[in-house]
Amino acid sequence: MSAVPMSQSPVFDLAPWSQNHLARVEQALSQWVGHGAPAGLGDAMRYAVLDGGKRLRPLLVLAAYEAVCSGNSGAQSGVQATLVLDDAAIRAACAVELIHAYSLVHDDMPCMDNDVLRRGKPTVHVQFGEAPALLAGDALQAFAFELLTPDDSLIPASVQATLCRLLARAAGSAGMAGGQAIDLASVGVALTEDQLRQMHRLKTGALLQGSVLMGAVCGHAAATAYQALSDYGAAMGLAFQVVDDILDVVADSATLGKTAGKDAAADKPTYVSLLGLERAQAYAQELLVEAHAALVGSGLPDTRALAALADMVVRRSY
């Protein structure tokens, strides 16, 4: 009988791995975010970032970093529980979360999605007002890049520059902001499946894929592994949005921690509205298979955390 690929091994337990890494991320975010910001700005920044969210993007950074390190000759141990995360990886993990948080602050505002609930609590503009929310989002975006370029750092300048470029591309017109622009322009418009896929690859998938690639850069991934991780991130990132569309239909607001059914109410195109619920669910599973295949093809000896995160994305209920 052939051996089970490491990326698909059933023995990996995601819960303790995640708890260990989430604790490090939460500590770093609490230590770095909002301190010294004037006129209540820091309070709004910390409210937007701390004590909520799945932290999927930071976990993807750290899982990709560890996967690459597991394949580096002479690198640190590939055992996740004892791996010492370097400064670049934890900074990259926090930076992607800051970009994600800023996008949520702005997306929830009345000029965008006009939502009042996020992560089970009032949105930032409801809690602090629209102008402070706008500034908090701006400040979080800027601080993400400050984190990636620390003073007197041992992180090579080339790595800092690459991380900034990856994050800027994932967040800008070629990524998240571009996808949001398409989304706003598509209300009430009948998109083709290709058009919908492109919108979601930019709006949601780009930052998830970028998180994986930033982790790969921190671990100095070889070209073959880098491309395979890029393919994994693309499949997993799109799967996340497909499942999000499904949950908007089948889950309730208390479970989601945000307003359920808002896409249908706003007449926005989704995978469920285009394909139907059953076909959308099948497509999420197809993307999961693609993600696992990319990990197997990476040549990296231990991609179990990335595989488990992809499984979690597709099988989640919130």
In this structure, are residues 230 and 60 in contact, taking their beta carbons and an 8 Å threshold?
no
Q: Exposed/middle/buried for 316, CB within 10 Å: 0-12, 13-18, 19+?
A: middle
8-state DSSP, 7: G
Where in the chain are the domains?
Answer: 11-313
> Per-residue pLDDT for the chain (318 aa), expressed as one digit of tens each?
333 344 444 579 999 999 999 999 999 999 999 999 999 999 999 999 997 789 999 999 999 999 999 877 544 444 332 333 589 999 999 999 999 999 999 999 999 988 999 888 999 999 999 999 999 999 999 999 999 999 888 888 999 999 999 999 999 999 999 999 999 998 888 899 999 999 999 999 999 999 999 999 999 999 999 999 999 999 999 999 999 999 988 876 555 555 555 655 566 789 999 999 999 999 999 999 999 999 999 999 999 999 999 999 999 877
Place of tokens 């999000």: 244
The whole model's pTM is what? 0.89
CA atoms within 13 A on the CB side of 306: 43
Torsions phi, psi for 121 (to 5 deg):
-140, 165
Distance CA 256, CA 126 (A): 18
- Angle of helix 157-171 versus helix 176-185 axis, rounded to 10: 0
In terms of Cα–Cα distance, which of 208, 169, 161 is closest to 314? 208
CATH architecture of 11-313: Orthogonal Bundle (1.10)
Q: Is the separation of the CB atoms in 310 and 239 below 8 Å?
A: yes
Measured distance CA(254)–CA(169) in Å, rounded: 34
- Torsion-angle region of residue 49: left (phi > 0), alpha (psi -120 to 50) or beta? alpha
Closest by Cα among 230, 235, 232, 247 to 281: 247
Quick check: 250 and 284 in contact, CB under 8 A? no
